[in-house]
Structure 1
């Protein structure tokens, strides 16, 4: 029954986690750590998806084009048993990101594209997490580890009172930690896991360039962006033969998250986020199983200078199916999400009728 829940959670997360609060994407999942594995207790997985969000944009006297771009998230993990009580996993994901393009829209004060810069942002991150799990007894276990993370990208926006700039920057690899506890009842497929992920201070270097003709010189800059701490609660339990109820709650401390250089402040969030999911999985036979997942996040109020997230809140439904042959499982899923409306700026700019469609596929191998 565990396999049903994890497959559904991980595949639908590929499609919808990017729609969570702030610029959250992967949800910093730890599911592979709890996989039983094959004869050696080992497990490998690789997943890839495609997320296509869209939102309608309007300004008084003008209707603009959709600023949200399609992106392709991926993840990978391997879990190995060291002893009967000790296991470890290495997990790769893209925890945070943004892909927005406001070219042609008079967002904030004036269209940047008329000055030689397309307004928007393209932010990427990559993280590799090493985590150990120790089973204290049949029911209780603790886990903890280290996360190595790197971020890069560009933000073309108003740097506070200092006018428009194109900021291009990247970080070295910086580190944070995670720690958690889990309670299990194997006889009823019950598991409750709580994990705290620390914030990570990312030191970035790059250049800031004001609007102008091609070749306009930029100035060097260095600054720190602190990616937020978070708390994940994940649970599952059997409710009937071959039927599993599962869900999660993810709380992220977005309040205070900002991107500020010596020139000014490009990004600032003033509100935390909490994202919920609830699903049910059913195994039909040794080969096929399926699950449906519902997701919810309340609409928030981001400050008017933040255009990285032009929607706020979401309601989603995801469907996933597993095909198992021997030690190999292939999971496919699709998710549809309705995104919350948002306004910002003195115009104001209105973002309405947002939605997203995500698809994902995941390969899991027990060995």
Structure 2
């Protein structure tokens, strides 16, 4: 197979732009990073769960603005100008926490912090931009803390690392010509995958008597420096130029780089009455790394 390098900007744009546009800011956020189980007062604890989400995002008044056969894919304005853009999805979590003595707690967990799935399909006016795009991450984390008495409560130092896998694909209508001449459906597909490491560090102060806790945790970027995959244009071919030559009609190896964003989160909670707890959080995520 032929080989072609994609730069960081191209790789990020091709796969992420449909999900991280200004109108869909934070659209890649799924479960995020959550280490609340680390504060469980039990010597051992196990948690698991699945959250089911139904986004129901719709596209309306869509117009094909690039009606050229190449590279626009052909005039699609005769197709419907509305589409159901997002698919339902689940967010799983599994965690096990263990305490060691009176000062050390450790947590190992599995989560899916980032992801996104748009699936407007082939029959709409924007199919030459997106038929289906999906990104998935799998995060395997280990976090420990050391706590000691300070004033009426306890100060806790937090540190850990995580290994993160990412994979994704994008399909779009590259050309309507193959369908007209019977040589293919005109759909191209990009597949990419990689993995990387990240780390976290933070502080927390707790007064258990009042169920009060304040925590500040930073999660680092994850660099995907070896994104590899393929562009499949085997369904985009015709017996005349330009669809009768490379890269059309074949599978091409591609590679590049991208980053998952770093974040800083402040969480506060306090008991306000028996069996009542008030809590809140403020979070900053560096989505600019995807631009």
TM-score, with length taken from structure 1: 0.57
8 Å contact 1:27–1:250 — kept in the other structure? no
Name stretches of at least 5 consecutive residues in structure 2 with no aligned partner.
1-23, 64-76, 175-186, 239-247
Partner of 2:236: 212
Which structure dedicates a bigger proportion of its chain to strand?
1
Alignment match of 2:90 (pick from 57, 72, 76): 72
C-alpha distance in 2, partners of 1:221/1:199?
A: 23
* CA displacement 1:53-88 (0-9 Å, x = unmatched): 112322257432211111122110000012210110
User: Which position in structure 1 is the counterpart of 2:111?
Assistant: 93
CA distance in 1, matches of 2:147, 2:157: 7
Report whether the alignment pairs 1:25 with 2:25: no
Gap change, CA 1:201 and 1:73, over 3 Å in 2: same
User: Aligned runs of 1:159-174 on 2, under 5 Å?
Assistant: 165-171=188-194, 173-174=195-196
The answer (yes or no) to whether the contact 2:58–2:86 under 8 Å persists in 1 is no
Q: After superposition, where does 1:267-286 map in structure 2 within 5 Å?
A: 268=291
Given the alignment of the two structures, is residue 234 of structure 1 paired with residue 267 of structure 2, yes or no? yes
Greater relative CO (CA pairs within 8 A, separation 6+) = 1
Encode CA deviations 1:193-213: one digit per residue, 9 max, x unaligned. Answer: 110000001222100134615
> Given the superposition, is the C-alpha separation of residues 156 and 36 from structure 1 closer, same or farther in structure 2, using an over 3 Å criterion?
same
Quote the residue 2:157 is aligned against. Answer: 142
After TM superposition, the structure 1 stretch with the greater mean CA deviation from structure 2, 129-138 or 88-97, is 129-138
SS at match of 1:32: helix
Offset of 1:157 from its aligned partner? Answer: 4.9
Q: Which residue of 2 aligns with 1:184?
A: 206
Q: Report the Cα distance in structure 2 between the residues aligned to 1:140 and 1:184, rounded to whole angstroms.
A: 7
Partner SS for 1:136? strand
Contact 1:22-1:254 at 8 Å conserved across structures = no
Deviations 1:73-112 (A, max 9, x none): 21100000122101100011001111111322333xxx34
CA distance in structure 1 between the partners assigned to 2:188 and 2:211 by the alignment:
53
- Counterparts of 1:73 and 1:244, CA distance in 2: 25
- Tell me the TM-score normalized by structure 2: 0.71
Report the structure number with the largest CA radius of gyration.
2
Gaps of 5+ in 1: 1-18, 258-267, 269-367
3-state secondary structure, aligned to 1:53: coil
Q: Note the 1:1-367 alignment, pairs <5 A.
A: 21-37=26-42, 41-58=43-60, 59=62, 62-103=80-121, 104-107=123-126, 111-112=127-128, 119-137=131-149, 138-157=153-172, 165-171=188-194, 173-202=195-224, 203-210=226-233, 212=236, 216-257=249-290, 268=291
Distance 1:105 1:231 in 2: 39
Q: Output the CA distance in 2 between the equivalents of 1:158 and 1:180.
A: 46
Superposed CA offset, 1:284-338 (max 9, x none): xxxxxxxxxxxxxxxxxxxxxxxxxxxxxxxxxxxxxxxxxxxxxxxxxxxxxxx
Distance 1:94 1:234, change over 3 A: same
State how many pairs are aligned.
225
Contact 2:260 2:289 in 1 (8 A): no
What is the distance in 2 between the residues matched to 1:148 and 1:49? Answer: 22
